[in-house]
A = this chain, B = another copy of it.
Amino acid sequence: MTATPNRRVVLAERPKGVPEPRHFRVEELDPVPPRDGEVLVRVSHWSVDPAMRGWVNDVPNYLPPVAIGAVMRSFAVGEVVESRHPGFAPGEVVTGMLGWQRMATVPGEAIDRKVAESDLPPSLALGILGLNGVTAYLGLTTVADPQPGETVVVSTAAGAVGSAVGQIARALGCRAVGIAGGPEKVALCREAYGYDAALDYKAGGLDAGLAAACPDGVDVYFDNTCGPISDRVMGHLAQNARVVICGTAAITDWDPLPQGPRVHRQLLVKRARMQGFLAFDHKDRYAETIDRLAGWVRDGTLTWREHVLDGAEAARDAIGMLYRGENTGKLIVAVD
């Protein structure tokens, strides 16, 4: 048993669109002693992911919305301090849906995996060796199946998922073209993540940039935006192109559906395919995927950036930061 209070962030009010600090409240409670089948985890890092916007909005989604007054749903990583589940023992590092809280009492089923890469920082389990890396690898390989020599365009190219997609595409023998906002992120794309070309959508001239960077068209478009950037890329598809719909960072409100250029004829003329991808559907492939990604981290094929916020109060604006594009690298919160 521990005396450490459970400092946590709860949903105070339901936002419409991107949540703001006022929609969250920080509170401290006694930790809940685990019952049979549960474990108590001392959480070290919380994840901040674009999907969290959807989890707090009351619109049809792949998970029910977070209830008012409930702890914010989130991936997190930490160390088991007490276990009443036969599969877990104190001292093991675990990751899963632990929520934005310091002392997480959860059923064993909430834990996705034990973090076996003890040679690597545990926070990687929230990024390149977590949902971000898995989403990048499985979204790219299962939906798009890129072939060596093909051109893969990535939006939010310097982000946690995008930067992994670009590097994985190159590891698979493709040309990678990144789209990011501002000179700093574009430099990251070129210098840290090794994109063959990187385009700054804020600088204008995206169409000309795409035409120059993709002279044979776009074979694969890994999209995390679903807004005006996508609309431009759709005009450059190659025949039999595959568009992976992975995230919707450019759209803050889907109710009612926002208007945009119809994609149908571009898909028809190019015999192209547009497909939604959710990593959660592929849990049976997480372990092999993380093993492969960890190998690439160790041999230097994959690099990453972390943007670390300090504690619960800072977490209240974290989703907003993500949607304003203020983070450079995977956004995480170091738990206070």
Contacts and interface: CB of A to CB of B under 8 A. Distances in A.
Interface of A: 60-62, 223, 226, 230, 245-248, 251, 254, 256-278, 281
A258 B231 CA distance: 12
Contacts of A223: 264
Given A248-B265, A251-B265, A259-B262, A273 B271 contact: no
Nearest to A241: B276
A269 B272 CA distance: 20
Contact of A276 (B61, B246, B256, B272): B272
Contacts of A278: 268, 271
A276 B237 CA distance: 12
Which among A256, A257, A267 has the highest number of chain B CB atoms within 10 Å? A257
B61 A269 contact: yes
A276 B281 contact: no
Contacts of A274: 263-264, 267, 273-275
Given A259-B262, A262-B260, A264-B245, A277 B281 contact: no
Closest A-B pairs by Cβ, 8 of them = A268-B276, A257-B261, A226-B264, A267-B276, A273-B275, A260-B262, A259-B259, A274-B274
B260 A248 contact: no
Given A274-B267, A275-B267, A277-B271, A258 B261 contact: yes
Contact of A259 (B260, B270, B276, B277): B260
Interface centre among A251, A258, A264, A266 (most CB of B within 10 A): A264
A277 B270 CA distance: 9
Contacts of A62: 269
Nearest to A230: B264
